[in-house]
Chain A
């Protein structure tokens, strides 16, 4: 058995930005390490947005192929690699949800379907969220939190969120921005 202390000293957590730089030069081992490091976050987000596990797998695969193809375009000056990957992941997940909604509408020959969502007023902060993010989400007002979460985790446009919450569009737009700014400031302070 190896000494746990020695292992801790010899291998810290891999630097994701550095892995991305190496992957951008075609290093497939670095890409594999990147997958190991980020796939739980990507898959976790995809599951939450698209719900269906099989489709969440498809989204995860699309995301990492995108990351591989576009690693050459990643610029650390513009933000961290993890943020870049999660931004791609979220866009892909939301696209998948919207595609399937559009498909459903087509299948129902344009019959307007009730926008379904999982009870915004209930359990605003999912039990699984932990640590700094959870604490910081608690600093948002209820409307900020609802607006941010319905858009981010259900993939709704701000227009849909406004309809759902029965609020004027400009209000929702503003709450999304205020809410994210508050989250950003709180997370910065938590570091």
Chain B
């Protein structure tokens, strides 16, 4: 870790960084568990200092706050870190390009499935997980949970601000060893493979353009170049 960044933990816990610096430091925290722990402890010390002078607010404020809360929906719970895989940003545009040019579609599709099969160990995996968490946690997240044709549920989150979408596939029925769930982008009636998704994980990706529908099918293990079964769900991300 950079010593220079690390020493910002105090200023960060005091909210004494500029917006850009705070954002930079937050990204640093994602890759530095020791720093995250230190920041938590320093935030706790700061919070205790902040709570040391209690003043009762005017009584009418309580009714106002409770009434406002009553009108305000709560955010959906977040998908926990490490519970998801990520379709990197550049992959999605590649998929859409291939969907438009059907000739290269199959080649790109095979590459896509292979790339997604593993998810990648270690640091990469952690960084990838952050992507999905970010979408579900986004301030402007739209989420929808839908039932699938095979009796499961799937949650979709989109964030216009991030320009990304994510799916949580944890509530899909488990498959046997011979089959996988596979995500597709449907564009002008052409299916482009996005990748195989492990049920207990999930996926995040850039928002496709408005005419593109995202679908999931059950395919032989490892995925197919073109769908071999009917989709168990389809969603137009721009309508979530």
Interface residues of A (CB under 8 A from B): 24, 26, 28, 31-32, 35-36, 39-45, 47-48, 56-57, 60-61, 64-65, 68-73, 78-80, 82-83, 86-87, 89-91, 94, 126, 128-134, 137, 148, 151-152, 155-159, 161, 170, 172-181, 183-184, 187
Residues of B close to A179: CB separation below 8 A: 10
Contact: B17 with A41, CB < 8 Å?
A: no
Interface membership of B15, Cβ < 8 A: yes
Across the interface, which residues of B come within 8 angstroms of A184, CB to CB? 41-42, 44-45
B88 to chain A, nearest CB (A): 25
Most buried by A among B9, B11, B54, B74: B11
A177 contacts B53, C-beta separation under 8 Å: no
Q: Which residues of A contact B55 (CB under 8 A)?
A: 40, 43-44, 47
Question: A68 contacts B52, CB within 8 Å?
Answer: no
CB under 8 Å from chain A, chain B span 145-186: none
* Residue of A35, A56, A87, A90 touching B66 (CB-CB under 8 A): A35
B229 is an interface residue with CB less than 8 A from chain A = no
Which residues of chain B have a CB within 8 Å of any CB of chain A? 7-11, 13-18, 40-58, 61-62, 64-66, 68-70, 72-78, 137
* The residue from B45, B47, B56 contacting A43, defined by CB atoms under 8 A apart: B56
A65 touches B15 (CB 8 A): no
Q: A43-B57, A90-B46 are known contacts; what are 11 more A-B pairs with Cβ within 8 Å?
A: A43-B54, A60-B57, A61-B64, A87-B43, A130-B52, A151-B15, A158-B17, A177-B11, A178-B10, A180-B46, A184-B41
Q: Would you give 20 A-B contacts (Cβ < 8 Å), ordered by A? A: A24-B74, A39-B61, A40-B56, A43-B54, A45-B50, A48-B53, A65-B72, A68-B72, A73-B78, A80-B44, A82-B47, A83-B48, A87-B47, A133-B52, A148-B49, A176-B10, A177-B42, A180-B13, A184-B44, A187-B45
**Contact among B42, B49, B54, B137 for A73, CB-based, below 8 A:** B137
Nearest chain-B residue to A36 (Cβ)? Answer: B62
Known: A48-B53, A158-B17, A177-B11. A65 touches B65 (CB 8 A): yes
Q: Which 6 A-B pairs have the closest CB atoms?
A: A177-B10, A176-B10, A86-B47, A40-B54, A151-B16, A184-B45
Collect the chain A residues with CB atoms within 8 Å of residue B47's CB: 82-83, 86-87, 90
* A180 and B69 contact, Cβ closer than 8 Å, known pairs A41-B54, A61-B61: no
